[in-house]
Homo-oligomer: A and B are copies of this chain.
Amino acid sequence: MNKTNITQKQIAKELGVSVSTISRALSDSHEISAEQKQRIASYAAKVKYQPNPHATSLRLSKTKNIAVLIPDLSNSYFSLALNGIESVVHDKGYNLMIYQTNDHLATEEAIFRYLENGLVDGVLSAVSSNTKGYVEHVSRLNGLIPITFFDRCINDLPIPHITCNDYESGFSATKHLIEKGCRNILFIGIDKSISVTSERLRGYIDALQLKGIPEKKEYILFSESAEDILKQLHHLFANKHQVDGVFSSVERYTLQLYTLCNELDIKIPDQLKVISFSNSPFVSFMNPPLSVIVPPAFEIGKEAAHLLLQLIQKKKYITDLNKVLPCTLLFNKSSLG
Interface residues of A (CB under 8 A from B): 1, 3-5, 48, 50-55, 57-58, 61, 63, 65, 72-76, 79-80, 82-83, 86-87, 90, 95-100, 113-114, 116-119, 142-146, 252, 255, 258, 280-283, 285-289, 298
Contact = CB atoms under 8 A, between A and B. Distances in A.
Nearest to A55: B58
7 contacts: A1-B144, A5-B116, A50-B114, A53-B117, A90-B100, A97-B97, A287-B288
A336 to B, nearest CB: 15
Given A79-B74, A82-B73, A117-B50, A4 B61 contact: yes
A76 to B, nearest CB: 7
Count copies of this chain in the complex. Answer: 2
B3 A143 contact: yes
Nearest to A282: B282
Question: Residue among A5, A53, A57, A74 with the most chain B CB within 10 A?
Answer: A74
Contacts of A4: 61, 118, 144
Is chain A's interface secondary structure helix, strand, loop, or mixed overall? Answer: mixed
A63 B54 contact: yes
A126 to B, nearest CB: 15
Nearest to A81: B74
Contact of A97 (B96, B255, B282): B96
A314 to B, nearest CB: 9
Nearest to A279: B74
A99 B90 CA distance: 8
A95 B4 CA distance: 21
Contacts of A5: 116-118, 144
Question: Residue among A3, A61, A76, A79 with the most chain B CB within 10 A?
Answer: A79
